[in-house]
Chains A and B, each alone.
Chain A
Amino acid sequence: MKTTYREACREALRDALTRDDRVFLMGEDVGAYGGCFAVSLGLLEEFGPERVRDTPLSESAFVGAGIGAALGGLRPVVEIMTVNFSLLALDQILNNAATLLHMSGGQLNVPLVIRMTTGAGRQLAAQHSHSLEGWYAHIPGLRILAPATLEDARGMLWTALQDPDPVLLFEHGTLYGMSGELDDDAGPVDIDRAAVRRPGTDVTVVAYGGTLGTALDAADDLAGTGIDAEVIDLRTLRPLDMPTVLGSVARTHRLVVVDEGWRSGSLSAEIAARVAEEALYELDAPIERVCTAEVPIPYAKHLEEAALPRRDDVVAAARRAVG
């Protein structure tokens, strides 16, 4: 069936709310307004205010409440409007959700799922446009997911809800309107492995979330010039599926990492370091990284575009790597 990323996210929520009555959704404007990105539109009418709960503007409070509900046996899905505002709940996420299992000697799991929007590209300026999922991928005790396709938007939520520990789902804001074909019987997907979205032989391009499309577009351009790029979608940012990345590098001997985070200390740095640690003797060229310029994301459209990883930047990096 023809659908959009937004509808796939909604269908995943509807499916979870239907399947398991311990599941409920809460967040700012998820109920009456239908979600600030219209993901939960209609769910309040369908499931009622106990299952779809509007919260005050207090990330720390409602994430903390979600942690408490999870400890109490429910399966909360907490929506945070954007990753920028999740910093207000960072104390709850890091100091409680991610650590309670460890600090309770393995007695207290926190089966919580937090969804949030990430990324730039919509002229929402610096306070609504950053990509901080790499920070969260730094935290032991969390699992970090980045659905970049309709299948993953539809399928990752249920698998995340089965995880006894906290899972963060990052939905890139530019993807909600992405439309395409989705199988009528699309359902849960695995969240353990990266996926080769396009096989190739000359250069490995690693991307995730909002940059997957950029990488695939760049691969199309490269194919026109006789460079066969393999595009890998990380899908899970913590724990990283390094075997898939290393296997690809062992075939292509060249690596380009595309990351919408800022270059310094980004997830791209972690991937580059691990490949250098574990596959140095497969590398036939220096590792290339295509990241966001180290500035607060500008509001002006042309400046915003200039700051983000662009198709042409990926093409140029791949060309340098192939030499």
Chain B
Amino acid sequence: MGAFRMPSLGADMDEGTVIEWLVKPGDQVHRGDIVAVVDTAKSAVEVECFETGAVGEILVPAGEKVPVGTPLAMIGAGPAPPPTPPTPLTTPPGGVTGVAAGKSAKPRRPATPAHPPPASPPVRTFAAQAGVDLATVHGTGRGGAITRADVQRAAQSAAAVPAEPQPGRARVSPYARRLAAERGIGLPATPGELVRARDLPGGNGEAKAPPPPAAPAARHDESMRQAIAALMARSKREIPHYYLTATIDLHTAIEWLTAYNRTVPVTARVLPAALLLKAAARAAVRVPELNGHWIDGAFRPAAEVRLGVAVALRGGGLLTPAISGADTLTVPDLMTRLRELVGRARGARLRASDLAEPTITVTNLGDLGVESVHGVIYPPQVALLGFGAVAERPWAVDGLLGVRPLVTATLSADHRASDGAVGARFLHTIDTLLQTPEEL
């Protein structure tokens, strides 16, 4: 049996609410099945499990809010065990996950009280072996330090409350630790035993999201507003933005699109937005200095392009789900993904995989008629590209004045990570790519 835990669905998420369980004890589930709907500050997300087996007990009932990493249910091989009374979960100060006694791995950092009585590492080890909670021991050593003798006395004293034996910190490889954190799964560690990537639920592979069943939409207006407020304020506080604007002639692109759309059914028609996104994704590959994150005072280029798409919600608010590998999708495929993504975002049915951290984000407010967008970068990304409306305007071509469909592209970029010349190259690349739409 392994613990299915509250996943982390974003860098800024530290707790979540179980809105709904889609399975019950005794159900058989497979890796990748959607088992629950979790409410984050921003939206309801369908959460996949990484194990195959029978659902054991549900540890956190729907409606409860718990920190990331808290075991929500037990899932494992073999028949489901008989339900046992649920173990109360404790959340010690500092928001550290409690441990379902004897069942799940230790949290990454053992919870420490605000002022732990001083005790040397060997004494700590001894106390853990003896099952003595140091918080209950009176220290007689120098400065109130707990000595080995104090622990021995506490272990023999009937008054001492024996704690669960605290085994040592699980030995987990850095790579396995990182994968577990990325997938929002706990470490299936029997402490003391070595855990590597292959021991994780899901092994070394990537999880795939199955088609989602319907999930209830929840109202997030207030918490989403707060989340956006915090993030955008941080962006403007920390990121020295610079802005570059370029007007792009879409004459060729729109002609090509019109010709293409004549050949497909109405439902498959492609909007100019798909061309713009594709050009942006391809440009992000060619100008990698803008595709990545600013972390700990350094720019970390990303290995692929996960294109964030800012989606305005009907009831107000904003989500930025990501399209992974946007540079490799064909324009029609990108259009399909965009439609699905906007639908899921507005229906508050985003999947965990939609919420992968984007490496660069595009905001397109053209349908609202604005000419240009000078956007605010989503930390820790280093660039945000804004497209205004595609509109027919007078434009000089080869010394003659004509009427052309134009779009204004505005790049907001992090001046810590790049300089204006890089941004200019990025916008110029987008322009160049859009002049040969058949190659996009």
Q: Please, how many angstroms separate the alpha-carbon atoms of A35 and B174 in the complex?
A: 51
| Min distance, Cβ B180 to any Cβ of chain A, angstroms | 11
User: Is A280 an interface residue, CB under 8 A from the partner?
Assistant: yes
User: Is A284 an interface residue, CB under 8 A from the partner?
Assistant: yes
Q: Please, how many angstroms separate the alpha-carbon atoms of A90 and B175 in the complex?
A: 42
Q: Please, how many angstroms separate the alpha-carbon atoms of A282 and B173 in the complex?
A: 9
Which residues of chain A from 101 to 127 have any CB-CB distance to chain B below 8 Å in the complex? none
A282: chain B residues within 8 A (beta carbon): 174-175, 178
A280: chain B residues within 8 A (beta carbon): 174
| Min distance, Cβ A231 to any Cβ of chain B, angstroms | 21
User: Is A285 an interface residue, CB under 8 A from the partner?
Assistant: yes
User: Is B176 an interface residue, CB under 8 A from the partner?
Assistant: yes
User: Is A224 an interface residue, CB under 8 A from the partner?
Assistant: no
User: Is A130 an interface residue, CB under 8 A from the partner?
Assistant: no
Which residues of chain A from 271 to 291 have any CB-CB distance to chain B below 8 Å in the complex? 280-285
Which residues of chain B from 173 to 219 have any CB-CB distance to chain A below 8 Å in the complex? 173-178, 194, 196-197
User: Is A253 an interface residue, CB under 8 A from the partner?
Assistant: yes
Q: A281 and B196: CB pair below 8 A? A: no
Type the 1/0 row for B137-175, where 1 means its CB is closer than 8 Å to any CB of A: 000000000000000000000000000000000000111
| Min distance, Cβ B428 to any Cβ of chain A, angstroms | 27
A283: chain B residues within 8 A (beta carbon): 173-175
Which residues of chain B from 395 to 425 have any CB-CB distance to chain A below 8 Å in the complex? none
| Min distance, Cβ A242 to any Cβ of chain B, angstroms | 14
Which residues of chain A from 250 to 285 have any CB-CB distance to chain B below 8 Å in the complex? 253, 280-285
Cβ-closest chain B residue relative to A249: B175
Our count of residue pairs bridging A and B at CB distance below 8 angstroms stands at 23
Q: Please, how many angstroms separate the alpha-carbon atoms of A280 and B173 in the complex?
A: 9
Q: Please, how many angstroms separate the alpha-carbon atoms of A253 and B200 in the complex?
A: 15
Q: Please, how many angstroms separate the alpha-carbon atoms of A284 and B198 in the complex?
A: 9
B177: chain A residues within 8 A (beta carbon): 281
Type the 1/0 row for A194-232, where 1 means its CB is closer than 8 Å to any CB of B: 000000000000000000000000000000000000000
Q: Please, how many angstroms separate the alpha-carbon atoms of A281 and B177 in the complex?
A: 8
Given contacts A283-B173, A284-B173, contact A253 B197 (CB under 8 A): yes
| Min distance, Cβ B183 to any Cβ of chain A, angstroms | 14
Cβ-closest chain B residue relative to A250: B303
Q: Please, how many angstroms separate the alpha-carbon atoms of A281 and B174 in the complex?
A: 5
Q: A323 and B174: CB pair below 8 A? A: no
Looking at chain B's contact residues, the main secondary structure is helix
The number of chain A residues touching the other chain, given as a range, is: under 10
B174: chain A residues within 8 A (beta carbon): 280-284
Cβ-closest chain A residue relative to B176: A284
| Min distance, Cβ A7 to any Cβ of chain B, angstroms | 42
B196: chain A residues within 8 A (beta carbon): 284-285, 323
B176: chain A residues within 8 A (beta carbon): 284
Q: B178 and A281: CB pair below 8 A? A: yes
Interface centre among B173, B177, B178 (most CB of A within 10 A): B173
| Min distance, Cβ B295 to any Cβ of chain A, angstroms | 12
B194: chain A residues within 8 A (beta carbon): 323
Cβ-closest chain A residue relative to B197: A284
A284: chain B residues within 8 A (beta carbon): 173-176, 196-197
A253: chain B residues within 8 A (beta carbon): 175, 197
Q: Please, how many angstroms separate the alpha-carbon atoms of A291 and B178 in the complex?
A: 30
Which residues of chain B from 311 to 355 have any CB-CB distance to chain A below 8 Å in the complex? none
| Min distance, Cβ A252 to any Cβ of chain B, angstroms | 10
| Min distance, Cβ A280 to any Cβ of chain B, angstroms | 5
Q: Please, how many angstroms separate the alpha-carbon atoms of A252 and B436 in the complex?
A: 39
| Min distance, Cβ B174 to any Cβ of chain A, angstroms | 5
| Min distance, Cβ A128 to any Cβ of chain B, angstroms | 42
| Min distance, Cβ B197 to any Cβ of chain A, angstroms | 5
B175: chain A residues within 8 A (beta carbon): 253, 281-284
Q: Please, how many angstroms separate the alpha-carbon atoms of A323 and B178 in the complex?
A: 19
Interface centre among A253, A282, A283 (most CB of B within 10 A): A253
Which residues of chain B from 31 to 60 have any CB-CB distance to chain A below 8 Å in the complex? none
| Min distance, Cβ B368 to any Cβ of chain A, angstroms | 41
Q: Please, how many angstroms separate the alpha-carbon atoms of A282 and B197 in the complex?
A: 10
Q: Please, how many angstroms separate the alpha-carbon atoms of A282 and B176 in the complex?
A: 8
| Min distance, Cβ A249 to any Cβ of chain B, angstroms | 10
B178: chain A residues within 8 A (beta carbon): 281-282
| Min distance, Cβ A58 to any Cβ of chain B, angstroms | 49
Cβ-closest chain A residue relative to B173: A284
Q: Please, how many angstroms separate the alpha-carbon atoms of A9 and B194 in the complex?
A: 49
B173: chain A residues within 8 A (beta carbon): 283-285
A281: chain B residues within 8 A (beta carbon): 174-175, 177-178
| Min distance, Cβ B340 to any Cβ of chain A, angstroms | 30
| Min distance, Cβ B289 to any Cβ of chain A, angstroms | 15
Q: Please, how many angstroms separate the alpha-carbon atoms of A284 and B204 in the complex?
A: 11
Cβ-closest chain A residue relative to B303: A250
A285: chain B residues within 8 A (beta carbon): 173, 196
Q: Please, how many angstroms separate the alpha-carbon atoms of A12 and B32 in the complex?
A: 59
Interface centre among A281, A283, A323 (most CB of B within 10 A): A281
| Min distance, Cβ B26 to any Cβ of chain A, angstroms | 35
Q: Please, how many angstroms separate the alpha-carbon atoms of A283 and B197 in the complex?
A: 9
| Min distance, Cβ B182 to any Cβ of chain A, angstroms | 10
| Min distance, Cβ B194 to any Cβ of chain A, angstroms | 8
Q: Please, how many angstroms separate the alpha-carbon atoms of A194 and B141 in the complex?
A: 57
| Min distance, Cβ B159 to any Cβ of chain A, angstroms | 44
Q: Please, how many angstroms separate the alpha-carbon atoms of A281 and B194 in the complex?
A: 16
Cβ-closest chain A residue relative to B178: A281
Interface centre among B175, B177, B178, B196 (most CB of A within 10 A): B175
Q: Please, how many angstroms separate the alpha-carbon atoms of A198 and B419 in the complex?
A: 39
A323: chain B residues within 8 A (beta carbon): 194, 196
| Min distance, Cβ B114 to any Cβ of chain A, angstroms | 30
Cβ-closest chain B residue relative to A280: B174
Q: Please, how many angstroms separate the alpha-carbon atoms of A280 and B174 in the complex?
A: 6
Interface centre among A281, A283, A284 (most CB of B within 10 A): A284
Q: Please, how many angstroms separate the alpha-carbon atoms of A298 and B155 in the complex?
A: 57
Residues of B within 8 A of A (CB): 173-178, 194, 196-197
Residues of A within 8 A of B (CB): 253, 280-285, 323
Closest 3 CB pairs of A and B: A281-B178, A284-B175, A284-B173
List 6 A-B pairs, Cβ < 8 Å. Answer: A253-B175, A282-B175, A283-B173, A283-B175, A284-B174, A284-B176
Given A284-B175, A285-B173, A323-B194, list of 20 further CB < 8 A pairs? Answer: A253-B175, A253-B197, A280-B174, A281-B174, A281-B175, A281-B177, A281-B178, A282-B174, A282-B175, A282-B178, A283-B173, A283-B174, A283-B175, A284-B173, A284-B174, A284-B176, A284-B196, A284-B197, A285-B196, A323-B196
